[in-house]
């Protein structure tokens, strides 16, 4: 493994150690922005605790000498069932920001979802992935200015993104008290690269109330409803993915309104504190969708065992967020690559020890909940 620590002999060997090392590379404001959750951070913590409540029931005497971790999402191949979640302002972690993340994702054969609030442009990030025909989606917020929203969608389509990933759990911004305490603002020279046409974007550099909070209040449309999905699909032929679903009735409506995939997510615990852990919501959503759309899980993934648990409960793939930022802060593209490699290696070992030679062998019989949840075998 290539040394990405740059200044000492310590080499992180798991995602938790990357988080600790990243603190050396990030300002307190940047680290808190990336790591914080809403209010008391109950949901943030519960996203991890949910995985610890699920135990594995491995099969024995299975030939696992040849293992295959590959899959496909919306018809596009992946080397393992993993996508990088949309995360804003990645240049806070490293000057190459989202471009470094895209290059690492493409090289590893995993997907990437680019945030509306990226610090690199739609076109720059697309170019980084095109050489390897990478799976890239564009994450979208619907703005009050429909012309701006349309322009973002048209740019993403023209640049070759494979899907629109609409975040539906942020009609307003959750209250993140660490950001408020730090008076979070982007440092000089950084700005949302895809929103240059919005007047007043210097709000991101003002001290006082969080510039991100001000942006949400001024620009994003809290009146978006299911009907707006029809408008969105009318202006772009890309498949629609809804990110932020936590209820089975919402999952059913998502399918009825044309969503091709659903990301079960609570925004990493950054929106509504006290919301259900993503993993705890997964089983009922998989059952409600009943194969009519692909279901992915976002939130709390830190080990290969976590990925297997999510797949066993019914997810087609998972998204990871914060660990990518820790890798990016420590080593840029190489750091992100190592985060992916660690998860790939751990998933491979987990599958072998669980009696699974391919992803299709992973089913619900492999998991048991210590606190019984609806839809999970016990």
Which positions make up the binding site for FMN?
86-88, 115, 139, 243, 265, 298-302, 321-322
Task: Give the Å distances, CA to CA, from 79 to 82, 140, 141, 201, 295.
Answer: 8, 25, 29, 39, 18
User: CA-CA distance, 4 to 335, in Å (whole number)?
Assistant: 6
Give strand pairing partners of 112. 84, 136
- The token pair that represents 268 in the structure block: 């990493």
User: CA-CA distance, 289 to 157, in Å (whole number)?
Assistant: 27
Sign for the CA dihedral angle at 341, 167, 265, 358 comes to negative
Task: Give the Å distances, CA to CA, from 101 to 108, 266, 322, 327.
Answer: 11, 22, 12, 9
User: CA-CA distance, 46 to 10, in Å (whole number)?
Assistant: 30
Catalytic residue among 130, 191, 205, 267: 267
Please enumerate, by residue number, every residue annotated as part of a binding site: 33, 86-88, 115, 139, 141, 167, 176, 243, 265, 267, 270, 298-302, 321-322
User: CA-CA distance, 210 to 319, in Å (whole number)?
Assistant: 26
- Under 8 Å between Cβ of 163 and 261: yes
Q: Which residues contact 233 (CB under 8 A, 6 or more apart)?
A: 240, 258
User: CA-CA distance, 211 to 205, in Å (whole number)?
Assistant: 7
Catalytic residue status for 267: yes
Please enumerate, by residue number, every residue annotated as part of a binding site for glyoxylate: 33, 141, 167, 176, 267, 270
Residue closest to 238 by CA, chosen among 300, 313, 152, 153: 153
User: CA-CA distance, 67 to 51, in Å (whole number)?
Assistant: 24
- Radius of gyration in angstroms for the set of CA atoms belonging to the chain, rounded to a whole number: 20
Catalytic residue numbers read: 267
């Amino acid at each position: 493994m290539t040394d990405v620590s740059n200044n000492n002999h310590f080499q992180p060997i798991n995602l938790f150690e990357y988080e600790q090392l990243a603190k050396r590379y990030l300002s307190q404001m940047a680290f808190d922005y990336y790591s914080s959750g809403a209010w008391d951070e109950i949901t943030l913590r519960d996203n991890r605790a949910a995985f610890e409540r699920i135990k594995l029931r491995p099969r024995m005497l299975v030939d696992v000498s040849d293992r295959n971790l590959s899959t496909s999402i919306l018809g596009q191949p992946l080397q393992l069932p993993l996508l990088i979640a949309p995360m804003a302002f990645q240049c806070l972690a490293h000057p190459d920001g989202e471009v470094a993340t895209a290059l690492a994702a493409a090289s590893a054969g995993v997907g990437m979802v680019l945030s509306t609030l990226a610090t690199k442009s739609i076109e720059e990030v697309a170019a980084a992935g095109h050489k390897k025909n990478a799976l890239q989606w564009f994450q979208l917020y619907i703005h009050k200015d429909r012309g701006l929203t349309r322009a973002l969608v048209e740019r993403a389509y023209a640049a070759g993104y494979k899907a629109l990933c609409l975040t539906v759990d942020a009609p307003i911004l959750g209250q993140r008290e660490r950001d408020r305490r730090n008076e979070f603002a982007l440092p000089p020279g950084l700005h949302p690269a895809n929103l240059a046409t919005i007047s007043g974007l210097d709000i991101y550099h003002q001290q006082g109330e969080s510039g991100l909070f001000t942006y949400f209040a001024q620009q994003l449309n809290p009146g978006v409803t299911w009907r707006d999905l029809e408008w969105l699909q009318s202006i772009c032929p890309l498949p629609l993915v809804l990110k932020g679903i936590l209820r089975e009735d919402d999952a059913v409506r998502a399918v009825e309104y044309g969503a091709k995939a659903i990301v079960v997510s609570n925004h990493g615990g950054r929106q509504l504190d006290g919301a259900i852990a993503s993993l705890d919501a997964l089983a009922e959503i998989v059952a409600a969708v009943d194969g009519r759309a692909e279901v992915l899980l976002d939130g709390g993934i830190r080990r290969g065992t976590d990925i297997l648990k999510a797949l066993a409960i019914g997810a087609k793939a998972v998204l990871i967020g914060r660990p990518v930022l820790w890798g990016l802060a420590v080593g840029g593209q190489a750091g992100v690559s190592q985060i992916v490699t660690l998860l790939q290696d751990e998933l491979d070992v987990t599958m072998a020890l669980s009696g699974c030679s391919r992803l299709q062998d992973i089913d619900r019989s492999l998991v048991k909940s210590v606190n019984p949840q609806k839809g999970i075998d016990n």
